[in-house]
């Protein structure tokens, strides 16, 4: 199929680091790009053809933004899905379909989706309010997850024993039975308009227990072949049942018995795919453009093994950011530094990431530890 000369007009709702990296890759093709965000100093604002200041949660803003476009994607789930549904009914292509967004961003609906499609996921109960939660002592230890509005560790509460129940959420939430986790795995899947899929190798995630934020992630994950197959099959089941094109990050637990359970899914480019920029033939960002532009799916294979470390705003420090130790990290011969251009840091804020690529796993973890020890984003 030849491409005609008028470039596609494609918009992104949200202008954070995911939009920024999407736009870096967009410039390899001839697409005309739009971004909507309420802050014209956001990380992605200057990298698109047309920046529109607006509220991605507001029906009129989203509808007016999308009406002139051929296609629309998101870099955050929390957008006005009613406007997206109207746009979709009027012929604008939405990646992913708004119905998927509605399912995923509500943790109750997301869990019910897994159940309906017989996808293994930690056992759960829905709690309408704190009173209902308090009757669930038999279900502990468990994790209480707020139905709507949780993000990056907010809206998640660990409930170990009866006395913890009062710390739960007094709004519709999911109470999820605690799983004894052996490994936390994530993998990205691209789906095109024809329903064809491209599966990236799984990554192994190591979390900062205090912040519930990613510590570092290794690709490929070290897994038995049988577990790898199970992970891929389950991730594909998650994604295929959405019947939607787009790119998806599926996060899974492997328990001590080797069982695989889906933790959650994001229907967009995702932190767990950042290493694909340098370490894989087609990055997650490249893949989404290929999907939206009707190009062939990209090659998900790794060029080299990699490790990715987030640069997180240091504890106890807010204000204009400085990157302590940056020069030292920039001297590591196989490190790729990405700073997101956020002017202000605050504790836990994602300020950038570093990817190390190498033929040797020891080299990856050794250098990841240097990055974690030396590089600080603080005010």
C-alpha angle with apex 5: 4 to 11, nearest 5 degrees? 95
Structure tokens at 36: 């909507």
What lies within 8 Å, CB to CB, of 307 at 6+ separation is: 216, 217, 218, 219, 275, 355, 356, 364, 365, 367, 368
302-318 burial, b if ≥16 CB within 10 A, otherwise e?
A: bebbbbbbbbbbbeeee
Q: Which stretch, 58-66, 185-193, 223-231, 296-304, contacts a second copy (CB under 8 A)?
A: 296-304
In the complex, least distance from residue 324 CB atom to a second copy, rounded to whole angstroms: 5
DSSP assigned state of 27: T
Q: Is residue 357 within 8 Å of 336, Cβ to Cβ?
A: yes
In the complex, least distance from residue 286 CB atom to a second copy, rounded to whole angstroms: 9
| Bridge partners, residue 345, by sequence | 319
Number of residues that bind a second copy (CB under 8 A): 48
33 binds a second copy (CB under 8 A): yes
166 binds a second copy (CB under 8 A): no
323 binds a second copy (CB under 8 A): yes
- Which residues 328-367 are close enough to bind a second copy by CB under 8 A? 330-331, 333-334, 336-339, 341, 343, 357
Q: Which stretch, 42-50, 63-71, 153-161, 163-171, contacts a second copy (CB under 8 A)?
A: 42-50
Q: Is residue 196 within 8 Å of 246, Cβ to Cβ?
A: no
3-state SS class at 128:
coil
89 binds a second copy (CB under 8 A): no
Burial of residue 372, with CB atoms counted within 10 A of its CB: 0-12 exposed, 13-18 middle, 19 or more buried:
middle
Q: Which stretch, 40-48, 83-91, 149-157, 267-275, contacts a second copy (CB under 8 A)?
A: 40-48
In the complex, least distance from residue 294 CB atom to a second copy, rounded to whole angstroms: 9
The one among 141, 195, 296, 347 contacting a second copy by CB under 8 A: 296
Dump strand ranges (E) for 226-329: 246-255, 260-266, 305-312, 319-320, 322-324
In the complex, least distance from residue 361 CB atom to a second copy, rounded to whole angstroms: 17
Structure tokens at 207: 């979390």
DSSP assigned state of 313: B
194 binds a second copy (CB under 8 A): no
Phi and psi of 291, rounded to 5°?
-65, -45
180 binds a second copy (CB under 8 A): no
Structure tokens at 8: 């596609």
Encoded one letter per residue, x for contact with a second copy by CB under 8 A and - for no contact, window 123-162 reads ----------------------------------------
The one among 27, 158, 166, 222 contacting a second copy by CB under 8 A: 27
281 binds a second copy (CB under 8 A): yes
Q: Which residues bind a second copy (CB under 8 A)?
A: 1-7, 20-21, 23-24, 27-30, 33, 46-49, 281, 290, 295-296, 298-299, 301, 303-304, 320-327, 330-331, 333-334, 336-339, 341, 343, 357
């Amino acid at each position: 199929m030849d491409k005609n000369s008028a470039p596609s007009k494609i918009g992104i709702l949200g202008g954070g680091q995911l939009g920024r990296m999407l736009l870096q890759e967009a410039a390899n093709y001839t697409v005309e790009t739009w971004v909507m965000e309420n802050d014209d100093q956001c990380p992605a604002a200057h990298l698109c053809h047309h920046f529109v200041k607006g509220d991605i949660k507001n029906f009129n803003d989203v509808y007016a933004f999308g009406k002139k476009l051929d296609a629309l994607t998101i870099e955050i789930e929390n957008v006005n899905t009613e406007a997206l549904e109207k746009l979709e009914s009027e012929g604008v292509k939405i990646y992913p379909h708004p119905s998927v967004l509605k399912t995923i961003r509500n943790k109750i609906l997301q869990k019910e989706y897994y159940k309906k499609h017989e996808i293994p996921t930690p056992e759960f109960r829905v709690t309408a309010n704190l009173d209902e939660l308090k009757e669930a002592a038999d279900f502990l230890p468990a994790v209480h997850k707020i139905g709507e509005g949780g993000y990056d560790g907010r809206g998640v509460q660990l409930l170990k024993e009866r006395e913890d129940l009062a710390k739960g959420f007094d709004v519709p939430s999911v109470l999820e039975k605690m799983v004894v986790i052996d490994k936390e795995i994530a993998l990205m899947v691209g789906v095109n308009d024809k329903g064809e899929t491209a599966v990236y190798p799984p990554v192994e995630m190591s979390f900062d227990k205090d912040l519930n934020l990613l510590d570092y992630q290794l690709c490929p994950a070290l897994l038995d072949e049988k577990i790898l197959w199970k992970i891929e099959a389950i991730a594909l089941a998650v994604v295929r049942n959405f019947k939607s094109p787009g790119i998806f990050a599926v996060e899974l637990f492997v328990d001590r018995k080797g069982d695989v359970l889906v933790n959650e899914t994001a229907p967009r480019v995702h932190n767990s795919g950042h290493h694909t920029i340098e370490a894989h033939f087609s990055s997650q960002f490249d893949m989404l453009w290929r999907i939206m532009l009707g190009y062939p799916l990209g090659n998900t294979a790794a060029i080299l093994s990699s490790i990715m470390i987030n640069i997180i705003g240091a504890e106890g420090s807010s204000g204009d950011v400085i990157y302590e130790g940056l020069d030292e990290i920039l001297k590591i011969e196989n490190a790729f530094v990405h700073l997101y251009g956020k002017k202000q840091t605050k504790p836990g804020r994602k300020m950038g990431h570093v990817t190390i690529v190498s033929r040797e796993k020891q080299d990856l973890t050794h250098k990841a530890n240097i990055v974690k020890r030396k590089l600080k984003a603080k005010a």
